[in-house]
Amino acid sequence: MANAWPARTRILIYLALVLLPVFIVTIYNLPPPDLFAYNLGRAFALAAFTIMILQVALAARVKWIERPFGLNLTFPFHRNMGVLAALLLLAHPFLMVLGGGGWKLLLVDNTWYIWVGRAALLLLLINVSLSLWRLPLGLKFETWRLGHNLSGPLILVLGFIHSWYASIDFTLALMQVLWVGFLGAAAVLYWHHKFYRPARLRRDPYTVAEVRQESHDVWTLKFVPPPGQPRFDFLPGQFQFVTLLRGRGLPEEEHHFTISSSPTLAEFHTSTIKASGDFTATIGATEPGDKAVVQAPFGRFSYLLHPEDRDLVFIAGGIGITPFMANLRHMRDVQADRRVLLLYANKSERDIVFREELDKIAGGSKPELKVVHILSRPGEAWEGEKGRLDPQKIERLCGERLGQSLFFLCCPPPMTRSLLEILRGLGVPEKRISLEYFSL
């Protein structure tokens, strides 16, 4: 509840900024004032350009923006607002035509700034389409990100030039100041996010102090801060962006991983990583002494943000155990008075990580932890729960907790979607479900 007002404030500021240029031109009532479609087209373009300026702020991992929502919400919001801006800008020329601009505006107008507008719109449509359909198109994440990072600023500059010369609104000094201010602020944020901060973090990298193999395909990396610097503060369950600087021909890419250790350990933090793709397949080749650029913390998947809820149900699928491990380790270290049921789903016994440590925490009194392992492909000797987490199993395992507990889910996306459906079907209200997606 404490965060409700600040979150709302940020949303109101966002809305006010999007509507500000439309408000200004409406007040000054520039001609042609009586053509509804024309004015709507103008308003769409002004709002869409402002949305695109704000896209830079949403993507720049600004803590003030991210804190009450988490990147798990701000990144999808960024994507949805990109789609909205594209739709508004797609409608913009048609409304201008309907409002009296004439059909030649669409195709045969050869004024240079109209062509600049067309180029901006085309680039934006390509950009949005590739973001929405990257996976079906088989585009590698790094290739998509490079294109996205280069085309985004270009679209803004082209949009700025087009509106400056094509629109009557920029005969107003106030609009000129606003537009230059918007573009300048976006340029500074972009430079800070893409160049200044990475260079600063790279000057003071963390060191990988230990690489521990947890299972056949999972490793834990232990990071220590640069000499003389304290480790950053974080909440159990939060995550970090890490770029491993390993040399030896190994890839140097930024990836996000949960911090699997508890913040109670002041000297270091860890991430536990499963070899699941082309970058993570190299995680076992990391060596003590390798450097790491770390940006953290992010996210809101922490029991500490729910001080009023004693009864918790954690549902983990595979490597989705990592944020729960950080939460449980913290509860153990501070002897938190919580009652937790952990449903931990894996394919086979050899995929279970942290099994012994979980048993030890469950053997203590605080937290009051019960662990249930569920295997989808168990061996002959397995006597525990088998199969998938279906409604009957969830109902049987959770019992009365369905009516009172706070649910935390961190599983592969299809499993998360299916569990959400099941929990809703079993009457668990949305506000008692917290999600962590392992894909932003």
Ligand X SMILES: Cc1cc2nc3c(=O)[nH]c(=O)nc-3n(C[C@H](O)[C@H](O)[C@H](O)COP(=O)(O)OP(=O)(O)OC[C@H]3O[C@@H](n4cnc5c(N)ncnc54)[C@H](O)[C@@H]3O)c2cc1C
Q: Which residues bind ligand X (CB under 6 A)?
A: 141, 239, 253-258, 271-274, 276-280, 299, 319, 322, 438-440
- The dihedral over CA atoms of 120, 183, 195, 259, expressed in degrees to the nearest 10, equals -90
50 versus 270: smaller Cβ distance to ligand X = 270
148 versus 192: smaller Cβ distance to ligand X = 148
253 versus 368: smaller Cβ distance to ligand X = 253
Backbone angles phi, psi at 144, to 5 degrees: -60, -45
Nearest to 344 by CA among 318, 369, 326: 318
- Joined tokens for residue 238: 């939060």
Could you give the residue ranges of the DSSP H alpha helices within 192-343? 197-203, 322-334
Instruction: Please state the closest distance from residue 283 (CB atom) to ligand X, in A.
Output: 8
DSSP 241: E
- Joined tokens for residue 291: 């450097």
Instruction: Please state the closest distance from residue 43 (CB atom) to ligand X, in A.
Output: 35
Instruction: Please state the closest distance from residue 334 (CB atom) to ligand X, in A.
Output: 22
Rounded CA-CA distance 294/297 in Å is: 9
Residue 409: C-alpha distances to residues 181, 233, 323 (Å): 42, 24, 10
Instruction: Please state the closest distance from residue 113 (CB atom) to ligand X, in A.
Output: 37
53 versus 325: smaller Cβ distance to ligand X = 325
280 versus 295: smaller Cβ distance to ligand X = 280
What residue is closest to ligand X based on CB? 277
CB within 8 Å of 3: residues ≥ 6 apart = 68
At CA 151, angle to CA 150 and CA 153, rounded to 5?
A: 80
Instruction: Please state the closest distance from residue 263 (CB atom) to ligand X, in A.
Output: 16
Beta strand 239-245 with 291-298 is antiparallel
Instruction: Please state the closest distance from residue 140 (CB atom) to ligand X, in A.
Output: 7
49 versus 298: smaller Cβ distance to ligand X = 298
Could you give the residue ranges of the DSSP H alpha helices within 36-70? 36-59, 63-66
39 versus 322: smaller Cβ distance to ligand X = 322
